[in-house]
Amino acid sequence: MVKRKIVTMPGDGIGRVVLEEALRVLDASGFKADYIEGDIGWEFWCREGDPLPKRTIDLLEEHRVGLFGAITSKPKDAALAELDPGLRDKGLVYSSPIVGLRQHFGLDICLRPCKSYFGNPLNFIRRGPHGEIVEPMVDVAIFRQNTEGLYGGVEWTNPPQQVYDALMTHPKFKTNFGWAPKEDISVSTRIFTRKMTRRILEAAFNHAMKNGYRSVTVCEKPNVIRETSGMMYKMAVEMQKNEFPHIELWNTNIDAQMMWLTKNPEDYGVIVAGNMFGDIVSDAFAGLIGGLGFACSAQYNPDTGVAVFEPTHGSAPKYASYKVSIVNPIAMIESACMMLEYIGDNDKALRIRNAIAKVVAEGKVRTYDMMKLTGNQDVIDKGAASTREMADAIIRELK
């Protein structure tokens, strides 16, 4: 049998550390693949002037499925200062390679599941009606439109004259902003297309169907942002009626959702939102289940099948310099589980998740974040597990 090929993109900082541990766990689960490493990140910006070299894009084009660690991004000036002196006058501008991957491959569907592990000391707790402590078990899957909306990149400060003139034809623009000099105006657009809105809604409803969730919640603000949020909600209503009558459709406003989040997080199933609100609501839910050490994600294009799986956290450069790594590898390992599910290896994903669940519930092996310690090098002396020890504990449960 031909072994499956997976593109690994460790990137920078702790991305390299956690990806290595995830591969060891995949190995221990019996998953067999050839891993082909793709160059990505800061090193390649500094050396070649491109943090996402074409050879890495080609690799992903060929093999379709990628595991990504994390990258370091720095502001424009800092990036230029670290660029190889021989490349400095070539007019190169740094841009985030993960955003580059999203755009190049049109990875428009972003899924961020947030599920509590029983016994995780970082789980959200609240008081019940009689003052008792209640620990709601959260199990939501957030679908975030990944390529459009406020992150679509269509924006200007001091917009070109044609753009300004076009805006002036809108009565609201004229009334609310017509008084301001053009050069003092910044515009960031929020553009939704029917096609991409349909795709993210479809992905959300299908996920609910397949995984036994009762409801899909559109988390936008259609009463105020009438066109974009309004279009998404209207399309969701139609879709639910015609294609998914057995799934309940709920509608929340992003601001109210942030408040309800801590009141009844256990009531939500699948949540779907545009790019910015999806980013916000997924970080908020991640906070209820343990934060960055537990937050995983998938980004994919349903047409081409290209998919990249990554933890939500970044490269945490300070931590990468520690002799013994202390960061939590679970977010990366969970991302690897999402990859297994994506390629249809659900049994192995389930086994790994069960192994994580056991380690968390037992509570003997905990990384510093799970002990609520400040992330200094001395946490190991205080009883925290290292990154490797956490992965080892999960591997022991797998065997």
Candidates 246, 262, 191; CA nearest to 213 is 246
43 vs 283, which CB is nearer to Mg ion?
A: 283
200 vs 390, which CB is nearer to ligand NAI?
A: 390
Q: Is 360 in the site for ligand NAI (CB under 6 A)?
A: no
Candidates 70, 92, 96; CA nearest to 81 is 92
Total chain residues near Mg ion (CB under 5 A): 2
Cβ atoms of 232 and 274 closer than 8 Å: yes
Q: Which residues of 224-255 are buried (b: 16+ CB within 10 A; e: fewer)?
A: ebeebbbbbbebbeebbeeebeebebbebbbe
Candidates 395, 325, 305, 397; CA nearest to 22 is 395
| Among 29-37, 129-137, 258-266, 307-315, the segment contacting ligand NAI (CB under 6 A) | 307-315
The answer for residues whose C-beta is within 8 angstroms of residue 199's C-beta and 6 or more apart is 108, 109, 302
Q: Is 334 in the site for ligand NAI (CB under 6 A)?
A: no
Q: Which residues of 29-50 are buried (b: 16+ CB within 10 A; e: fewer)?
A: bebebebbebbbbbebbbeebb
The conformational region for residue 12 under phi > 0 = left, psi -120 to 50 = alpha, else beta, is beta
Q: Is 10 in the site for ligand NAI (CB under 6 A)?
A: no
- Phi, then psi, of 300 in degrees rounded to 5: -150, 165
Helix (H, G, I), strand (E, B) or coil at 305: coil
Q: Is 310 in the site for Mg ion (CB under 5 A)?
A: no
Cβ atoms of 60 and 31 closer than 8 Å: no
**Contact mark string toward ligand NAI, 46..75, x via CB under 6 A:** ------------------------xxxx--
For Mg ion, which residue of 12, 148, 279, 334 counts as binding (CB under 5 A)? 279
| Among 30-38, 143-151, 215-223, 324-332, the segment contacting ligand NAI (CB under 6 A) | 324-332
Closest separation in Å from C-beta 293 to Mg ion: 15
Closest separation in Å from C-beta 327 to ligand NAI: 4
Closest separation in Å from C-beta 388 to ligand NAI: 13
Closest separation in Å from C-beta 102 to ligand NAI: 10
Q: Is 314 in the site for ligand NAI (CB under 6 A)?
A: yes
Cβ atoms of 68 and 16 closer than 8 Å: no
| Among 42-50, 127-135, 272-280, 302-310, the segment contacting Mg ion (CB under 5 A) | 272-280
Quick one: what does residue 279 bind among Mg ion, ligand NAI, none, with the CB cut-off 5 to 8 Å set by partner type? Mg ion
Distance (Å, whole) CA 321 – CA 171: 55
Q: Is 99 in the site for ligand NAI (CB under 6 A)?
A: no
Quick one: what does residue 72 bind among ligand NAI, Mg ion, none, with the CB cut-off 5 to 8 Å set by partner type? ligand NAI
Q: Is 207 in the site for ligand NAI (CB under 6 A)?
A: no
Cβ atoms of 270 and 141 closer than 8 Å: yes
Q: Is 292 in the site for ligand NAI (CB under 6 A)?
A: yes
* Residue recorded with tokens 């920078």: 12
| Among 55-63, 120-128, 188-196, 310-318, the segment contacting ligand NAI (CB under 6 A) | 310-318
Distance (Å, whole) CA 233 – CA 279: 18
Total chain residues near ligand NAI (CB under 6 A): 18
Q: Which residues bind Mg ion (CB under 5 A)?
A: 279, 283
Q: Which residues bind ligand NAI (CB under 6 A)?
A: 70-73, 98, 292-293, 310, 313-317, 327-328, 331, 369, 375
